[in-house]
Amino acid sequence: MDKKLKGSLIIVGTGLQVGGQTTISAQAHIQNADIVFATVTDNVSKHWFDSLNENIVDLTQYYGSNKSRLITYKEMTDAIVNAVKQGKRVCAAFYGHPGVFVMSSHKAIEQLLAEGYQAKMEPGISAEDCLVADLGLDPGRVGYQAFEATQFLFYQRKFDENCILVLWQIGLIGDHTLKISKTDSYHLGLKVLTEELLDYYPADHEVIVYEAATISIFSARIDRMALIDLPKAELTAISTLVIPSLGALEFDVATLDKLNLTVDDVKK
Ligand SMILES: C[S@@+](CC[C@H](N)C(=O)[O-])C[C@H]1O[C@@H](n2cnc3c(N)ncnc32)[C@H](O)[C@@H]1O
């Protein structure tokens, strides 16, 4: 076999709380890899990673002020892919679910599979999973839809106000430069978003700014407010906006008819 093809990649998620929300399988991959590329977000995660493997490379080094995140993600992908091509057993660990809003993980897998290497991803606990638990919102009840906040604003997206609406990266809303990492310029985007949402929801409809706890001894941030007050919310890079459903589901009588059913047959 070509020596190059000996390399392999496993991508894992650490959950939002490293250690506590990391699967046993993900932890074993981190321990057994020749090299681990990891998003080390704080000292707690640094100690945790260092205790598992002595060859940790911190991927956050690729972020830079006034640097496009697209360049950063390409550099992360290249670092991971190059290590695999050197014949190493590589593990890349991203916080949350490694495939949710993470460009480098998907790109590295695509690239390596196309070149004949072994590469795969394991799931992790994402912000969305924590949100369901902390807010008690079951996606199965009225449905669930999620968008990246800036994309939701820039494009004409169809959504259902009778379904839960979740907007990721709300703290970066309106940023077209992809250069902002600390949130300070979301105010106009948030104001315009609120104006648009007011076409669908009443002004007093409750919305929630949510931040899951990243350390187990802390509580989640769950700030409930009326939609009209959303422009005053203080957001951070880890804020997610949750807009609960209006809850007014209407039967599709024509389809029920095709199924030989009436509203009375299926009403609970
Ligand atoms: C680049 S994405 C990474 C998502 C991550 N891979 C996951 O699975 O949760 C960053 C966005 O995820 C959401 N997020 C990250 N950390 C969060 C937290 N602690 N609580 C709530 N949302 C969070 C926010 O919407 C944030 O802007």
Question: What ranges do the domains of the chain cover?
Answer: 3-121, 127-243
Q: Is the CB of 152 under 6 A from ligand 1?
A: no
The length of the chain, given as a count of residues: 268
pLDDT band at residue 67 under the 50/70/90 scheme? confident
pLDDT at 183: 62
Radius of gyration, CA atoms only, the chain: 21
- Closest ligand 1 atom to the C-alpha of 214? 19
Query: Beta strands 8-13 and 89-94: pairing type?
Result: parallel
For residue 161, what pLDDT is reported? 95
Q: Are strands 221-226 and 206-211 parallel, antiparallel or unpaired?
A: antiparallel
Q: What whole-number distance in Å separates Cα of residue 246 and Cα of residue 195?
A: 17
What is the pLDDT averaged over residues 234-259? 94
pLDDT, tens digit (0-9, with 9 covering 90-100), for 186-214: 899 999 999 999 999 999 999 999 999 99
Strands 164-168 and 240-243: antiparallel
Residue 181: the pLDDT is 62
Residue with tokens 């695509």: 110
Tell how far the Cα of 224 is from the centroid of ligand 1, in angstroms. 18
Contact 4, 84 (CB under 8 A): no
Closest residue by CA, ligand 1 atom 15: 238
Q: What is the mean pLDDT of the chain?
A: 93
Which ligand 1 atom sits nearest the alpha carbon of residue 213?
19
Backbone angles phi, psi at 123, to 5 degrees: -75, 160
Q: Is 70 exceeded by the pLDDT of residue 118?
A: yes
How many separate helices (H) and strands (E) can be counted in the chain?
10, 10
What type of residue is 190?
A: L
DSSP class of residue 217 equals: T
What pLDDT sits at residue 206? 98
User: Which residue, among 90, 79, 77, has the nearest Cα to 117 in the 3D structure?
Assistant: 90
Q: How confident is the model at residue 64 (pLDDT cuts 50, 70, 90)?
A: confident
- Give the C-alpha separation, 146 to 157, whole Å: 11
Global pTM reads 0.93
Instruction: Identify whether the C-beta of residue 71 lies closer than 8 Å to the C-beta of residue 177.
Output: no
Cβ(146) – ligand 1 distance below 6 Å: no
The torsion angles phi and psi of 180, rounded to 5 degrees, stand at -90, 130
Ligand 1: atom nearest CA of 128 is 9
Whether 227 and 201 have beta carbons less than 8 Å apart is answered as yes
The dihedral built from the CA positions of residue 218, 140, 22 and 93, taken in this order, carries a sign that is negative
Q: For residues 268 and 258, give the distance between their C-alpha atoms in angstroms, rounded to a whole number.
A: 20
pLDDT band at 262; cut points 50, 70, 90: very high
The pLDDT, as a whole number, for residue 177 is 75
pLDDT reported for residue 216: 87
Give the pairing of strands 240-243 and 118-121: unpaired
pLDDT at residue 176, as a whole number: 82
Please report the pLDDT score of residue 1 as a whole number: 45
CATH number of 127-243: 3.30.950.10
Q: Which architecture, in CATH terms, is 3-121?
A: 3-Layer(aba) Sandwich (3.40)
Residues forming a β-bridge with 223:
209
State yes or no: is 186 an active-site residue: no
User: Residue 2 pLDDT > 60, yes or no?
Assistant: no
Is 53's C-beta closer than 6 angstroms to any atom of ligand 1? Answer: no
Please give the pLDDT value at position 4.
52
Which residue among 240, 241, 242 is best mutated to probe the pocket of ligand 1, counting the most ligand atoms within 8 A of its Cβ?
240
